[in-house]
Amino acid sequence: MLPEIVSEKFEMETEIIKAYGDPERDAALMEKAGKIIKDGGLVAMPTETVYGLAGDALNPGSSKKIYAAKGRPSDNPLIVHIAELSALDRIVSDIPESARKLAEKFWPGPLTMVFRKSDIVPLETTGGLDTVAVRMPVNEISREFILASGGYIAAPSANRSGRPSCTTAEHVMEDMNGVIPLIIDGGEVGIGIESTIVDLTGETPCLLRPGYINLEMLSEVLGKVDVDPSIGGVVSPDAHPKAPGMKYKHYAPKGELYIVKGPQEKVVEKINSLAQENRARGEKTAVIATDETRHRYKCDIVETVGTRDKEETIAHNLFRVLRDMDDLGVSTIYTEEFNTPVMGMAIMNRLIRAAGHKIIDC
């Protein structure tokens, strides 16, 4: 049976308020935001990875509202965000040694760990699972906000389901205007792609979603780490990746996106020839390139996503560039592959899903 996609009509004024990451200057804003959450409402918050759409994780009604606001299938669980390690005990039934080690090294930060849940976490928050994903962000604004809201915030990325995640408050406004009362504006996020997710409920830790903290960094702490087969691979609609969200089409721009891979010379040549054919057919085409290659493309629209030598720039700009493609109204997009040393797996995981697995080898 297909999971229910909850949709509801929302009509409200959406306010954007700037935060500073300073408890004194943010006091009034945090009080206002915390009250909305405690009353069962939703607020968008910045984190170091992407913006989140926050609700009270321990209130089933709030989680239902999150699914409805995003148009998200109800079997796709939410991450619970905490601000202090001491908050973990109440929401998980046990804390494995592996989690303690990871927390010591990577929390607060862009790492989510999956635990067995305790009874106080509603199934509405975990999409019906008996496990719960938990993350402690490092972003000061999100931490102030979590504390002002009672300590347990369920927050998926703040985009409408299927759209690229939001890296600025303006992107959240594009997707959530009229749907939520408040967006906390913490400026542009730092990392730009979502947290790494690791499942610690099995015998061997398992990477469910790659992120800034990569497999090598996890293995340094944990030893052997399995990789969920769905990562970067072909995910069919009836596959069962351990992170349910990984089976859904995601990040996709409206135009058809193709990844062109191979030696750089050939990639440039191939994209130029495809772009020329498209132009002859009157199709508006764009190329996603890097600073190193952008000048080599003969195409009307060439957007650079970053610099290969500074791979964090590519992660940082990826979702913005995918959103720009919609604003430009292009019908076909060709992108280079970005298999960079540290974050390549995370970047390509997002790009492959955005392209619906359309890859041109050359």
* Residues near ligand TXA, by CB under 6 A: 47, 49-50, 52, 76-79, 112, 114, 126, 129, 131-133, 135, 155-157, 194-195, 197, 208, 242-246
CA separation for the pair 306, 291 (Å, rounded)? 6
CA separation for the pair 153, 53 (Å, rounded)? 9
Q: Is 157 in the site for Mg ion (CB under 5 A)?
A: yes
Q: Where are the beta strands (DSSP E) in the chain?
A: 15-18, 43-45, 52-56, 79-81, 111-116, 131-135, 153-154, 182-185, 196-199, 206-209, 226-227, 256-261, 285-289, 301-304, 332-336, 359-361
Which residue lies nearer to ligand TXA by CB, 36 or 134? 134
Which strand ranges, in their side-by-side order, compose the sheet holding 256-261? Answer: 301-304, 285-289, 332-336, 256-261, 359-361
Which residue lies nearer to ligand TXA by CB, 116 or 308? 116
Residue 94 C-beta: closest distance to ligand TXA, Å? 15
Mode of pairing for the β-strands spanning 301-304 and 226-227: unpaired
CA separation for the pair 44, 182 (Å, rounded)? 6
Helix (H, G, I), strand (E, B) or coil at 52: strand
Q: Are 83 and 136 in contact, with CB atoms under 8 Å apart?
A: yes
Residue whose C-beta lies closest to ligand TXA: 245
Which residue lies nearer to ligand TXA by CB, 246 or 315? 246
Q: Cα torsion at 182, 187, 190, 191 (round to 10°)? A: 50
The partner in contact with residue 132, picked from Mg ion, ligand TXA, none with C-beta cut-offs of 5 to 8 angstroms by kind, is ligand TXA
Residue 24 C-beta: closest distance to Mg ion, Å? 33
Residue 298 C-beta: closest distance to ligand TXA, Å? 37
Residue 314 C-beta: closest distance to ligand TXA, Å? 17
| Count of residues engaged in binding Mg ion, rule: CB under 5 A | 1
Cα→Cα distances 78→202, 208, 216, Å: 20, 14, 26
The partner in contact with residue 135, picked from ligand TXA, Mg ion, none with C-beta cut-offs of 5 to 8 angstroms by kind, is ligand TXA
The partner in contact with residue 187, picked from ligand TXA, Mg ion, none with C-beta cut-offs of 5 to 8 angstroms by kind, is none
Residue whose C-beta lies closest to Mg ion: 157
Which residue lies nearer to ligand TXA by CB, 311 or 336? 311
Which residue lies nearer to ligand TXA by CB, 243 or 252? 243
Q: Are 123 and 117 in contact, with CB atoms under 8 Å apart?
A: no
Which residue lies nearer to Mg ion by CB, 157 or 201? 157
Which residue lies nearer to ligand TXA by CB, 247 or 286? 247
Residue 247 C-beta: closest distance to ligand TXA, Å? 8
Going residue by residue from 112 to 151, which x/- string records binding to Mg ion, judged by CB under 5 A?
Answer: ----------------------------------------
Which residue lies nearer to Mg ion by CB, 139 or 157? 157
Residue 278 C-beta: closest distance to ligand TXA, Å? 33
The partner in contact with residue 37, picked from Mg ion, ligand TXA, none with C-beta cut-offs of 5 to 8 angstroms by kind, is none
CA separation for the pair 162, 323 (Å, rounded)? 12
Q: Are 51 and 156 in contact, with CB atoms under 8 Å apart?
A: no
* Residue span binding Mg ion (CB under 5 A) among the ranges 52-60, 156-164, 267-275, 312-320: 156-164
| Structure tokens that stand for 111 in this block | 């790492």
Q: Are 319 and 192 in contact, with CB atoms under 8 Å apart?
A: yes
Q: Which residue in the block uniquely carries the two structure tokens 């509202």?
A: 65
Which residue lies nearer to ligand TXA by CB, 64 or 242? 242
CA separation for the pair 311, 317 (Å, rounded)? 10
The partner in contact with residue 52, picked from Mg ion, ligand TXA, none with C-beta cut-offs of 5 to 8 angstroms by kind, is ligand TXA
| Structure tokens that stand for 355 in this block | 């392209």
Residue 310 C-beta: closest distance to ligand TXA, Å? 21
Binding positions for Mg ion, rule: CB under 5 A: 157
